[in-house]
Structure 1
């Protein structure tokens, strides 16, 4: 409560031993300008539920009513009431306080120590190391009424520390927790923490761990949990749907290779490696790069060498380890001329596009390995292709060439199943990238799936027996245009 602000302008007003303030409160309450919403708590807000006012101001209320109190246990990590409206605090006595919509579970314990943070004027919050120790205490209740988070949740917090700060950071965390434990009497909880950290650092048996993320870390394959959650959404959407079969129209070797030329051409163009069609055909026909654009030419050649080989494009992974091997092999061919990009090696630094950060380079192998389980469970060729393409695009496992490799892996699934491959022509680039972004940022797979179905429907019309006929179809459908357009124009004519 601000003493310099008139009572009727304050959202929360506390009763006071000051007789002047007390009389003003009584006067305003009689005039209907204040109402009591909890013991010793008033508000001038008359048309809003008391629980909403209390919840909005709860941390200021706690600090005022219990000066020097500590927001602790799970509340120190969540900074909000649980689903049952419980908050957990540590003070110089124990008490349960019921407020409208909330319950304050006040436990007797050690006052704030050095490093605990001041949250509001008179409310402190347990520092991270103390909060983890508090959450390793025994709890008589479970679920949202428990003062502690679950053990897997704590393990994931520790895994996050090592992911962000490395092993040295986790060791520093342990050292600080040891000091706090001696000050607060939580030596028993520190022993638990020490076992968990030892398991994460593989200095103690991993059987101490329960979280899948922590176990993966201990086994040397840490993964990006939010990305796996996103991939699960795509998997569910693909698994529950039915997709039309589109048999491969380009069964002859010549037709397959003619289609592969445009597949390679558009896949590079969409990434900014732009050639006139005639230039690209010259490079593919002669096998010789343009002298003025050696690396760009080799990108075209590398992509074409992969996608024009029916044998190579019929290879799909039977295991997670084989998926990693196929990815690295194809990337080595694709970027053979760009030695600075380390062809065939997974990235050694983080990459991003615009404001999108891709999977941390230390989590690439683990994320791909974990994500393989969903791929393996899919049966429909289009579903497997759509999943694989987004997986590689989202993880971005290499320093460069990720979009092209993602589309190669997508089409390999379709070739294996003798289904029509998919190309993304220039005119469809905006729709393609927009659908990827929507799935990445908003977790909505439907737009992405519909986009690929549309591209697939168009691609199935390209019969490659005569490359000039393909060229005519593409030209007529404005496929080479860099402006947004309708790639199904020719289909509906």
Structure 2
């Protein structure tokens, strides 16, 4: 018995027959049984290495299954030295072609199978094959192979990729791989490491040859977001940025955006920093962060500027970042990062892939039709790449709101109370490829922001306070933002002072 799987021979045949007759077991493959109380597909999904290893001992995971060392879209591709065999298990199709058995460098796996070495996997993925019905070809096409080589270079580096090429060449004869396939593999690897130039339909490898390599895994995630945004409901909150109703939204945008990143001021302190150039003792750099953010978001000309090319996108990012972090020279304001950054165990895009990933990501922007879609996408692009040493969250939200301002749409504020919802949406997409939470969170924040009157600081403060915007998130007792139709009646629960418009100079919006 292997977990929830029973193999013939592990129990007397009479016992297995009795359990089958009494409904305690069900058969999921020849000589393979599981408890009748379990979902057979779930059992196969969990136990496929031992099941397939029992049925096909010595089989080698290779071809299209090589990169993931497992099933691809419900199909497991194998090679084995005996006759070809196709096996249908609950939820899994196993396709084993006749091919070489385990070779030097292949890895023995628990259960009886082997994982093909990288060199073998690359060599065998040059073998020709055809797509069948709705199933892709057994091996990669030329563009897919080039994409994989680019990924291997990103993950394993130049020297390992060279080793894989030599390994493939050494195994070619025993694997019955034609010389033409090995030659093409050498050409693609040479293009990846920069020793030659080849024509390829792989966007990733082509970008690398042009000097702008990118993180293809991040681009795939961005493509998921593009598709989700295109399939989502329309979102429209028109706003004339020169309307007096929006006069003080830049202040709150700068205030909340910095608060999310840990630059926390009491509201009256923030007013003095922004409008009176009075910074609390010992907080000069924090004051520069807040004032620099406000300088950008209060400039309507700047906030109405949206890029038309990947290069211009990067230049806008760098300029705006240089203003925001002008007070922190040690953070290299305006300079793309040279050292990898991370959040916990999550590593953002590598420094050598930042510019290429931003350019490739920007190219996807053309697939989105509305300012709302572009704003969400742009914010996530910057957040996912994390192109700077610091200030990435602030610059991501500035780029988001610039798309909205340029299209005469209401901006999006992330109030303090909504911080965890917003960051949770980012994490859900970044870690689990689920864009739905982020889209819902930003749609809600957009509607909420559009319902606040920012014509005077006192009015905006009162409405924001009455809708709990200044509260810290409380996971035990979720404070709900009331939104556009909030009943503004009392601020008694808010501990911060209400700012009167008479306390500050008249604001002049450019």
The TM-score with structure 2 as length reference comes to 0.80
1:285 matched to 2:275: yes
Q: Say which structure is richer in helix.
A: 1
Q: Which residue of 1 aligns with 2:203?
A: 212
Given that residues 84 and 144 in structure 1 are in contact (C-alpha distance below 8 angstroms), is that contact kept between their aligned partners in structure 2? no
Q: 1:75 to 1:384 in 2, by over 3 A?
A: closer
Q: Which residue of 1 aligns with 2:427?
A: 437
1:197 matched to 2:189: yes
Q: Deviations over 1:437-477 (max 9, x none)?
A: 33333444343333223323332344444323333333333
**CA distance in structure 1 between the partners assigned to 2:39 and 2:409 by the alignment:** 60
CA RMSD across the alignment: 3.7
Of the three residues 303, 315, 338, the one matched with 2:328 is 338
1:481 matched to 2:465: no
**CA distance in structure 1 between the partners assigned to 2:227 and 2:163 by the alignment:** 40
**CA distance in structure 2 between the partners assigned to 1:311 and 1:369 by the alignment:** 24
Q: Which residue of 1 aligns with 2:287?
A: 297
Q: Deviations over 1:356-407 (max 9, x none)?
A: 4333333222222122233233332222222222222222221111111111
Displacement of 1:308 in angstroms is 1.2
Displacement of 1:418 in angstroms is 2.6
**CA distance in structure 2 between the partners assigned to 1:462 and 1:376 by the alignment:** 31
Q: Which residue of 1 aligns with 2:417?
A: 427
- How is 1:14-53 mapped onto 2 (pairs within 5 angstroms)? 25=13, 42=31
Given that residues 476 and 490 in structure 1 are in contact (C-alpha distance below 8 angstroms), is that contact kept between their aligned partners in structure 2? no
Q: Which residue of 2 aligns with 1:221?
A: 212
Displacement of 1:176 in angstroms is 2.9
Given that residues 249 and 460 in structure 1 are in contact (C-alpha distance below 8 angstroms), is that contact kept between their aligned partners in structure 2? no
Describe the SS at the equivalent of 1:11. strand
1:12 matched to 2:7: yes
**CA distance in structure 2 between the partners assigned to 1:52 and 1:425 by the alignment:** 42
Which stretch of structure 1 is more off in the superposition, 147-156 or 130-139?
147-156
Given that residues 63 and 122 in structure 1 are in contact (C-alpha distance below 8 angstroms), is that contact kept between their aligned partners in structure 2? yes
Q: Which residue of 2 aligns with 1:251?
A: 243
- How is 1:68-217 mapped onto 2 (pairs within 5 angstroms)? 70-80=60-70, 87-91=77-81, 94-97=82-85, 99=87, 101=89, 105-109=96-100, 111-120=101-110, 123-139=113-129, 144=135, 146-181=137-172, 184=175, 186=177, 188=179, 189-207=181-199, 209-217=200-208
**CA distance in structure 2 between the partners assigned to 1:14 and 1:70 by the alignment:** 24
Given that residues 336 and 387 in structure 2 are in contact (C-alpha distance below 8 angstroms), is that contact kept between their aligned partners in structure 1? yes
Displacement of 1:49 in angstroms is 10
Q: 1:250 to 1:355 in 2, by over 3 A?
A: farther
The TM-score with structure 1 as length reference comes to 0.82
Q: 1:465 to 1:96 in 2, by over 3 A?
A: closer
Q: Deviations over 1:3-35 (max 9, x none)?
A: xxxxxx9822359xxxxx9xx65x667867799
1:376 matched to 2:370: no
Given that residues 27 and 34 in structure 2 are in contact (C-alpha distance below 8 angstroms), is that contact kept between their aligned partners in structure 1? no
Q: 1:337 to 1:215 in 2, by over 3 A?
A: same
In our comparison, the structure showing a higher alpha carbon Rg is 1
Describe the SS at the equivalent of 1:492. coil
**CA distance in structure 2 between the partners assigned to 1:51 and 1:261 by the alignment:** 55
Given that residues 5 and 34 in structure 2 are in contact (C-alpha distance below 8 angstroms), is that contact kept between their aligned partners in structure 1? no
Structure 1 residues not aligned, in runs of 5+: 3-8, 16-20
**CA distance in structure 2 between the partners assigned to 1:148 and 1:291 by the alignment:** 65
Displacement of 1:297 in angstroms is 0.9
Which stretch of structure 1 is more off in the superposition, 450-459 or 81-90?
81-90
Structure 2 residues not aligned, in runs of 5+: 488-510
Q: 1:283 to 1:108 in 2, by over 3 A?
A: closer
Aligned length: 472
